[in-house]
Chain A
Amino acid sequence: MSLLRLDEVTRSVRLPDDETLEILKGVTLDVEIGDHVSIVGRSGSGKSTLLNLLGLLDAPTSGSIWFDDRLTSELSGNARDRARARGADIGFIFQQFNLLGGRTALENVMTPMLYASGRQFWRRRQFATEMLERVGLGGRLNSMPEKLSGGEQQRVAIARALIRRPRLILADEPTGALDIETGASIMAILDDVAEVSGAALITITHDVNVAALARRHYRLDRGVLAPIDVSRVLSAAPEVGL
Chain B
Amino acid sequence: MRTDLYQGHDYYLMDEWLTEEHKLIRDTARAWIKKEVSPIIEEAFEQGKFPKHLIKGLAEIGGFGPYIPEQYGGAGLDQISYGLLMQELERCDSGLRSTSSVQSSLVMYPIWKYGTEEQRMKYLPKLAAGEFVGCFGLTEPDHGSNPGGMITNFKDMGDHYLLNGAKMWISNAPFADIAVVWAKDETGRIHGLVVERGMEGFTTPTMTGKWSLRASDTGELIFDNVKVPKENLLPGRSGLGAPLSCLDSARYGIAWGAIGAALDCYDVALRYAKERQQFGRPIAAFQLQQKKLAEMITEITKAQLLTYRLGQLRNDGRATSAQISMAKRNNVDMAIHIAREARQILGGMGIINEYPIMRHMMNLESVITYEGTHDIHLLITGMDITGENAFS
Q: Do A and B come from one complex?
A: no
- Interface residues, chain A, with chain B CB atoms under 8 Å away: none
- Interface residues, chain B, with chain A CB atoms under 8 Å away: none
